[in-house]
């Protein structure tokens, strides 16, 4: 079709336009089917370009149902879909329908993986009603096997469940042999290679028997399917275009999946920035993006962007200086036309409390000056770093929303309800069953196990449940429980009514188990609201497990608060986003870089990139906070303590001229004037008092 594309394409710069039109035959070079890589620094418009490309493809006649759009989070996916829809409207006008449904294959690798596995369950010998374990469930199952196999007893100092799971996950995601992973990342566990191998084999068997998958399985099974030529062609054939954002943070499995589905790279587009690769701890590898062009014949078309549209020049100069010292880097320094005389601030401050005060003061000041709090964000390395700040914000009645922290779903009562739904969905899921059974009075681990064993032996677990002798002391609760599961198991209530049925059943237990039952009940009501946004129990459980919303957000990660609120986020969760004002907390050695970074070059380099990611989130104003005393939460049994800290090594002496250095608390000028004025007052009180009588 002939397009009136001038308006939306003319808003892009040349390089962006080339990327958007690549291979669509509209560009000067004519049709070119080679894959496309857009590799460029922060704020250069990569995500924006990707959204335009999707819209342009649709406007040029591509079927949105045959487009796979892979993003890093659900929030990013929802945001991208909205953007594409907006752009399509400007091109097609009223002819453009709503896209949310049509662009059905937009999501994270994990959620798309889950969907495909259900679809191809038959071919891979899997029950399509499989349930998905989050990290905590996975660690619990790992622990169970660890005990069953006796390692926790026979092997002194055998690694804990979290470490075992991390090792397992790294092997799966990196494709590296266990021995290599142990030597490189867990040298203190290297002596247990044989035992770990046995443990992991047991873990895999248990998952299969119970019909559960963990996060890694969603990628692993997808990758395995795409290594079969028939399935690979079928799966890859679903989409004419596959586009991936934030490609620098994908791991080996994810690259294998893409290459398996699109071996010749036709229709494949990936965008990313090697300088922002910050997920190596989850086995992401920057090699994916660097090796991408040469993986195809003919090689991929590479487009680089070098103009930053996000930040002012002083902010960009400082960020460029930090990343400029990096040992290895593909993307080059960015430039911007956004002039400003406001330098980023380097704020040296006494401690955590003073830091919280400074930030709260500045946020309010900026709001007074016209910047809503929603356009201001406070970033920190680890979720627990914001504790003091949260207390201060609460004390001052400043509403905030926190991303990347403890999730809504992590609270015990919400997990209870979800476990019940999961158990109803998949009665073989022992971790869910174990949790749910123990909600009943008088039911401990022993009797829970017995019940699960009986159910497990039957082809109709819920029927079998009816014949189980009620555990002692469970009283009437048992009959109610059996009844509820029978109802849920046979889908008698329907979705989302089920969740209300579960809440109704759970309420008396909630009151027995928790003192603050009424606040917790409010959470469950909110959970019901969230549930209403999903078409089915299965979809609800999958999505929620894979990308849990924050306590204060709706399913798309959009906060439910009406009022203005401040954003709190870990740096990792801030990826891809931007705010007018940004505060980065605890930019001290020991935090960035973390004292857990082993000091190896690769680890330290990743920490530098983390700071770069944080700084490049800012559009107009940036405050880098350097507390002199830094509160360290106990890790490796060292206990909580204050440590004296100094400015991060990534901002060295030569760079100081790029910042405005501030020491705080400083007395503000008007406060100083007031104090001087008070000091200079002289009243001859004695004379006055005498004068009253003269
Ligand atoms: P990151 O590396 O942080 O993910 P990015 O490269 O994906 O950044 P975007 O988020 O797409 O960058 O864009 C950054 C900002 O620049 C956005 O506000 C976007 O609207 C704006 N922008 C991008 N391209 C242009 C353009 N051609 N003209 C004007 N503004 C633009
Ligand atoms: Mg982006």
Is 548 in contact with 406 (CB distance < 8 Å)? no
HEC per residue, 428-440: CCHHHHHHHHCCC
Distance 189 CA to ligand 2 centre (A): 38
- How many whole angstroms separate alpha carbon 270 and alpha carbon 292? 9
Output the pTM of the full model. 0.85
Is 409 in contact with 577 (CB distance < 8 Å)? no
Alpha helices, DSSP H, located in 175-310: 178-185, 193-210, 215-226, 229-236, 252-261, 287-291
> Which ligand has the nearest atom to the CA of 311?
1
- How many whole angstroms separate alpha carbon 411 and alpha carbon 523? 10
Between these two residues, 625 and 157, which has the higher pLDDT value?
625
Q: Ligand 1: which residue has its CA nearest to atom 19?
A: 45
* Ligand 1 binding site (Cβ under 6 Å of any ligand atom): 11-13, 16, 42-48, 273, 276, 309-310, 576, 578
Find residue 642's DSSP bridge partners: 631
Flag whether pLDDT at 311 surpasses 60: yes
ipTM of the complex: 0.99
Flag whether pLDDT at 553 surpasses 50: no
Q: Of 610, 621, 624, 623, whose CA–CA distance to 578 is shortest?
A: 621
First CA to last CA distance, the chain: 102
Distance 310 CA to ligand 1 centre (A): 6
Is 111 in contact with 74 (CB distance < 8 Å)? yes
**In this structure, what DSSP letter does residue 36 have?**
E
Between these two residues, 323 and 4, which has the higher pLDDT value?
323
CA of 13, closest atom in ligand 1: 27
Is 76 in contact with 576 (CB distance < 8 Å)? yes
Distance 27 CA to ligand 1 centre (A): 22
At residue 352, the pLDDT reads 84
The average pLDDT across 472-484 equals: 85
- How many whole angstroms separate alpha carbon 583 and alpha carbon 587? 10
pLDDT in tens, 80-90: 999 998 888 88
**Annotated binding-site residue numbers for ATP:** 40-47
In terms of phi and psi (left: phi > 0; alpha: psi -120 to 50; beta: otherwise), the region of 30 is left
- How many whole angstroms separate alpha carbon 673 and alpha carbon 91? 58
Max mean pLDDT range (390-394, 461-465, 661-665)? 390-394
Q: Ligand 1: which residue has its CA nearest to atom 8?
A: 43
Pocket-testing residue among 310, 315, 330, 337, ligand 1, by greatest number of atoms within 8 A of Cβ: 310
DSSP string for 245-267: SSGGG-BHHHHHHHHHH-TT-TT
Cis peptide before 665 (omega within 30 of 0): yes
Give the percent of the chain with pLDDT over 90. 51
Between these two residues, 551 and 611, which has the higher pLDDT value?
611
Only one residue has tokens 């309010």, namely 364
pLDDT in tens, 361-375: 999 999 999 999 999
pLDDT in tens, 237-261: 999 999 999 999 999 999 999 999 9
At residue 669, the pLDDT reads 63
Distance 49 CA to ligand 1 centre (A): 8
Alpha helices, DSSP H, located in 535-616: 537-546, 601-615
- How many whole angstroms separate alpha carbon 466 and alpha carbon 693? 99
At residue 561, the pLDDT reads 56
Show the tokens assigned to 629.
């005393």
Q: Ligand 1: which residue has its CA nearest to atom 16?
A: 309
**Range with lowest mean pLDDT among 22-31, 183-192, 517-526, 624-633:** 22-31
């Amino acid at each position: 079709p002939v397009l009136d594309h001038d308006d939306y394409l003319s808003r892009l710069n040349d390089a962006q336009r080339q990327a958007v039109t690549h291979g669509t035959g509209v560009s000067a070079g004519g049709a070119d089917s080679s894959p496309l890589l857009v590799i460029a620094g922060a704020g250069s418009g990569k995500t924006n370009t990707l959204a335009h490309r999707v819209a342009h493809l649709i406007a040029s006649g591509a079927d949105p149902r045959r487009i796979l759009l892979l993003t890093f989070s659900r929030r990013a996916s929802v945001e991208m879909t909205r953007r594409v829809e907006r752009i399509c409207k400007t091109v097609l006008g009223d002819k453009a329908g709503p896209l949310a449904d049509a662009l059905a294959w937009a999501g994270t690798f994990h959620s798309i993986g889950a969907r495909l596995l259900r679809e191809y369950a038959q071919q891979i010998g899997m029950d399509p009603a499989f349930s998905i374990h989050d990290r905590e469930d996975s660690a619990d199952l790992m622990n169970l096997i660890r005990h069953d196999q006796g390692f926790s007893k026979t092997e002194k100092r055998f690694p804990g469940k979290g470490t075992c799971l991390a090792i397992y996950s790294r092997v799966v995601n990196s494709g590296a042999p266990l021995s290599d992973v142990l030597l490189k990342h867990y040298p203190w566990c290297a002596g247990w290679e044989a035992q770990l191998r046995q443990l992991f084999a047991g873990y895999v068997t248990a998952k299969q028997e119970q019909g559960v998958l963990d996060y890694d399985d969603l990628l692993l099974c997808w990758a395995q399917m795409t290594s079969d030529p028939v399935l690979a062609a079928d799966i890859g054939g679903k989409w004419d275009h596959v586009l991936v954002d934030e490609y620098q943070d994908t791991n080996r499995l994810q690259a294998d999946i893409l290459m398996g589905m699109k071996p010749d790279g036709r229709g494949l587009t990936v965008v990313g920035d090697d300088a922002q690769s910050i997920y190596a701890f989850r086995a992401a590898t920057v090699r994916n993006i660097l090796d991408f062009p040469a993986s195809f014949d003919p090689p991929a078309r590479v487009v680089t962007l070098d103009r930053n549209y996000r930040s002012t020049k002083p902010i960009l100069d400082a960020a460029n200086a930090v990343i400029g010292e990096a040992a290895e880097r593909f993307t080059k320094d960015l430039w911007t036309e956004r002039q400003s005389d406001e330098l980023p601030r380097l704020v040296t401050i006494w401690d955590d409390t003073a830091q919280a005060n400074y930030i709260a003061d500045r946020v309010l000041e900026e709001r007074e000056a016209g910047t809503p709090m929603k356009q201001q964000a406070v970033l920190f390395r680890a979720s627990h770093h914001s504790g003091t700040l949260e207390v201060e914000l609460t004390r001052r009645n400043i509403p905030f929303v926190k991303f990347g922290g403890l999730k809504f779903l992590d609270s015990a009562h919400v997990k209870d309800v979800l476990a019940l739904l999961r158990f109803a969905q998949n009665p073989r899921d022992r971790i869910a069953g174990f949790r749910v059974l123990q909600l009943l009075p008088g039911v401990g681990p022993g009797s829970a196990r017995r019940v699960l064993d009986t159910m497990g032996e039957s082809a109709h677990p819920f029927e079998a449940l009816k014949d189980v002798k009620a555990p002692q002391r469970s009283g009437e609760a048992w009959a109610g429980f059996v009844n509820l599961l029978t109802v849920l198991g046979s889908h008698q209530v329907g979705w989302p009514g089920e969740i209300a049925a579960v809440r109704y059943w759970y309420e008396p237990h909630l009151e027995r188990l928790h003192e603050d039952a009424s606040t917790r009940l409010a959470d469950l009501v909110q959970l019901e609201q969230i549930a209403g946004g999903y078409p089915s129990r299965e979809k609800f459980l999958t999505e929620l497990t894979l990308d849990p919303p924050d306590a204060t957000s709706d399913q798309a990660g959009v906060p439910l608060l009406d009022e203005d609120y401040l954003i709190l986020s870990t740096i990792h969760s801030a990826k891809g986003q931007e705010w007018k004002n940004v505060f980065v907390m605890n930019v001290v050695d020991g935090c960035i870089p973390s004292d857990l970074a082993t000091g190896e070059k690769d680890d330290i380099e990743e920490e530098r990139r983390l700071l770069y990611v944080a700084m490049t989130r800012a559009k107009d104003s940036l405050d880098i906070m350097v507390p002199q005393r830094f509160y360290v939460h106990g890790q490796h049994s060292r206990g909580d303590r204050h440590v004296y800290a100094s400015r991060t090594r990534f901002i060295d002496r030569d760079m100081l001229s790029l910042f405005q250095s501030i020491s705080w608390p400083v007395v503000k000028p008007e406060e100083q004037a007031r104090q001087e004025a008070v000091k200079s007052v002289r009243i001859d009180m004695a004379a006055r008092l005498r004068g009253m009588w003269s």
